[in-house]
């Protein structure tokens, strides 16, 4: 009896730890297939088009959208803000759309360190 109680407690503790473990975060740019798939499944998975745009803004996209792709999105019911988000992201394909100020500041040369002319 004590063994089964101890086993149950251990399993409960392990399941709590595993469920609290953060999900793996994907930072790779969003693909065409991901956008199409999420748009098709958005209603079934309670995902809004705004969620898709937010992910595009965070991760960027790995392609340059053409009119054929945008037309396919329209046929699937994409709203104007999703289409606009894809088009904006396409201008910087492969790069995240939300910038990190610390990373940007590293690219700026330190003016204090430069000798005066």
- Cα atoms in the Cβ-side hemisphere of radius 13 Å centred on 41: 7
Report the percent of the chain where pLDDT is more than 70: 57
60-99: pLDDT as tens digits: 999 999 999 999 999 999 999 999 999 999 987 755 555 5
Over 80: is that where the pLDDT of 50 sits? yes
Which residues, 6+ apart, have CB-to-CB distance to 36 below 8 Å?
A: 72, 73, 76
Give me the chain's average pLDDT, please. 76
Q: What is the pLDDT of residue 102?
A: 52
Closest CA to 35 of 12, 53, 18, 21: 53
Residue 19: which pLDDT band, with cuts at 50, 70 and 90?
Answer: very low
């Amino acid at each position: 009896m004590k063994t089964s109680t101890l086993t149950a407690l251990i399993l409960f503790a392990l399941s709590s730890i595993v469920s609290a473990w953060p999900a793996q975060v994907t930072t790779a740019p969003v693909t065409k297939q991901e956008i199409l798939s999420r748009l098709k499944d958005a209603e079934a998975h309670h995902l809004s088009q705004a969620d898709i745009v937010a992910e595009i803004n965070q991760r960027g996209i790995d392609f340059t959208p053409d009119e054929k792709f945008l037309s396919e999105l329209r046929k699937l019911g994409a709203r104007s803000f999703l289409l606009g988000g894809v088009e904006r992201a396409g201008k910087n394909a492969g790069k995240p759309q939300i910038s990190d100020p610390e990373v940007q500041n590293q690219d700026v040369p330190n003016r204090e360190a430069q000798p005066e002319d």
